[in-house]
Amino acid sequence: MDERVLLVEDDPSIREVTALGLKGAGFRVTTAVDGREGLARYLHDPFDVVVLDVMLPSLDGFEVCREIRKKSRVPIIMLTARTDTVDVVVGLESGADDYVTKPFEMPELVARVRAVVRRSQAAPEETTLTVGPLEIDPASFSARKDGHDLSLTATEFKLLLELARRPGQVFTREMLLDRVWNYDYLGDSRMVDVAVQRLRTKVEGDPARPALIKTVRGVGYRLERS
């Protein structure tokens, strides 16, 4: 493992200990002290994962996240200072793949970082799946609808791929958390809802009346067979 992690955190102690923890887990860590520096570093060098604090001077975490998302689908983990639902949802909506609530223990953060890295890695052994107008190619990590590229983030791609592996089958939020985010019940089922919402805006013709990714009331989601 030699993945490069960009850590954007303004508090020196948290920055240092987090960098220590990630380095100890085998990552190569670059740090930035505020939003502007973080964005500049990201644009300058390639990274495999971005760990982003929400409360940052000069440019807050949500802004940095949106800016990065305009150019890249690199996995992003937000560090939210509160267990505030609004913060979590805004973070996920601005394109984050996952979030960790402060205070956090290093093993927890390391596990999350590893999970998003794994998610973003292509699975070359798999063949292309076709469901209705959708064409999903795990080898090239790309998805197309009617021939047009959908430019999905790693999490969105993985989510679509999981749903497309068994079209018509209902996936509960817990199942999706387990298979897409790679951890069991620890996670927050709201992440699934927000990710599905984001996926719909890219996949559906009318996200308000989804034709492909259907909600199954009180259970979960399924992809229409065709």
For 146-195, the DSSP string reads TTEE----HHHHHHHHHHHHSTT--EEHHHHHHHHS---TTS-HHHHHHH
Residue among 140 and 201 whose Cβ is closer to other proteins: 201
In whole angstroms, the minimum distance from the beta carbon of 47 to other proteins comes to 21
In whole angstroms, the minimum distance from the beta carbon of 87 to other proteins comes to 11
In whole angstroms, the minimum distance from the beta carbon of 152 to other proteins comes to 18
CA-nearest of 190, 213, 199, 207 to 154 is 199
In whole angstroms, the minimum distance from the beta carbon of 128 to other proteins comes to 27
Q: How many CB atoms lie within 10 A of CB 26?
A: 11
Residue among 90 and 152 whose Cβ is closer to other proteins: 90
- Compute the distance between CA of residue 64 and CA of residue 53 in angstroms, rounded to an integer: 10
In whole angstroms, the minimum distance from the beta carbon of 103 to other proteins comes to 4
223 HSE (CA, 13 A, CB side) = 25
CA-nearest of 183, 70, 48 to 120 is 48
Binding site for other proteins (CB under 8 A): 11, 13-14, 17-18, 20-21, 24, 81-86, 89, 93, 102-109, 190, 193-194, 196-197, 200, 207-210, 213-215, 217-218, 221
In whole angstroms, the minimum distance from the beta carbon of 2 to other proteins comes to 21
* Alpha helices per DSSP H over 45-165: 61-71, 85-93, 106-120, 154-165
Residue among 85 and 151 whose Cβ is closer to other proteins: 85
In this structure, are residues 207 and 201 in contact, taking their beta carbons and an 8 Å threshold? yes
CA-nearest of 205, 176, 171, 204 to 188 is 176
CA-nearest of 171, 166, 125, 163 to 143 is 163
Residue among 23 and 45 whose Cβ is closer to other proteins: 23
Residue among 1 and 86 whose Cβ is closer to other proteins: 86
Residue among 80 and 120 whose Cβ is closer to other proteins: 80
